Amino acid sequence: MSFILPFIVLIIVVVFIHEYGHYYFAKKYGVGVTDFSIGFGKELFGWNDNSGTRWKICWIPLGGYVKFFGDRNVFSQADQEELLKKYNKDDQEKLFVTKPLYQRSLIVAGGPIANFVLAIFIFLFIYMFAGKDFTPAIIDEVQKDSPAEIAGMKKNDIILEIDNNKVESILDVSKLILMSTSEIVDFKVSRYDQELLLKVKPKIVAGVDNLGNKINKRIIGIKLSPYNNEINHKKLGPARALIESFKEVYFVTTSSLKYMGSMITGSGDSSQLGGPIRIAKISGQVAEFGILPFISMMAYISISLGLINLFPIPLLDGGHLMFYAFEKVLGKPLSQKTQEGFFRIGLFLLLTLMFFATFNDLKDLGLF
């Protein structure tokens, strides 16, 4: 139960924000919305608003949806003529398929956009009211015969960059090493006012993260410490906090794309890919450390949800945006038959990904 409740809270918030992004742009452009659902399956409870939208919570809290007025296939444009015959002129104005291409695109992209906005807002809140660490990353010890020593790292070196990512805090070092997908990690260090570029090949060892979960660690063999044990942690003003929030969202997004790319090419560690079971486990563990770590995790999950939904896979928002790109280029939508073929491919890809992630989750629990 300690894992389930935080997980449900996290999923409900992130999914609600995602679906509200679709809902917001739909209402903005006059599209009728009949249902706004958090979860799938049988309705637990709900209510109707003044515009006729049914807001509801359903049994299975692993997603949600917004259903548009009159749409058999929510984002389909191919059967528009057949659909128009069923409605009078006033009702036709509320149909999704009658809207211009740019409006349909914004309605579809609204979900992922809302997820990124949520993450930015969370980071903004944290940096303004809890602060951000800016303690320089100074090497206190280089272990003998370690990858760091072999590469030429020395005590008192200040780490400035890792793989061209600026190191703003001592906390960034382990994160950037872990997120690196390169066999050789580039370090820029400052030594006696000189900047040096060192190439380090980490060792991959089985270990555990700060929560006790099994991971494959990338070890280079250094210990860091703040200069004179002084921690530089400060609260940021609104403008600086907003800039740092955008930078964090950009970093997480690009790092995630690199990681996924490395898995496709076979060079990445696919064992770290997890699904709902792992998210539930980690969300429960993080919640025990307090509200700030928990909402930080919520921001990262929100980014992941927004990013994944932008992938050009039918059944996802990015798949529909791909169809609209074809429509823009061809001057007309793809045929219903072609769209259905793409949807079958998308369903196969999603089921394969879900199976693989679930297998990793069960393996992590020691069931395989």
How far from the centroid of its chain's Cα atoms is residue 353's Cα?
16
Specify the DSSP class assigned to residue 307.
Answer: H
Q: How many Å separate Cα 177 from the centre of its chain?
A: 19
Which residues lie below 8 Å from residue 259, measured CB to CB, with a gap of 6+? 179, 181, 268
**d(C-alpha 338, C-alpha 214), whole Å:** 43
> Is the Cβ–Cβ distance between 95 and 29 less than 8 Å?
no
157 φ/ψ angles, rounded to the nearest 5 degrees: -65, 140
Place of tokens 């679930």: 358
8-state DSSP, 52:
S
Q: Which two tokens stand for residue 67?
A: 């259903």
Catalytic residue IDs: 19
Q: Is 366 helix (H, G, I), strand (E, B) or coil?
A: coil
**Residue 214 and residue 187: Cα distance in Å, rounded?**
26
Which residues, at least 6 apart from 98, have a Cβ–Cβ distance to it below 8 Å?
80, 84, 92
Measured between alpha carbons, how far is 306 from 109 in angstroms, rounded to an integer? 9
Angstrom distance (rounded) from CA 21 to CA 119: 14
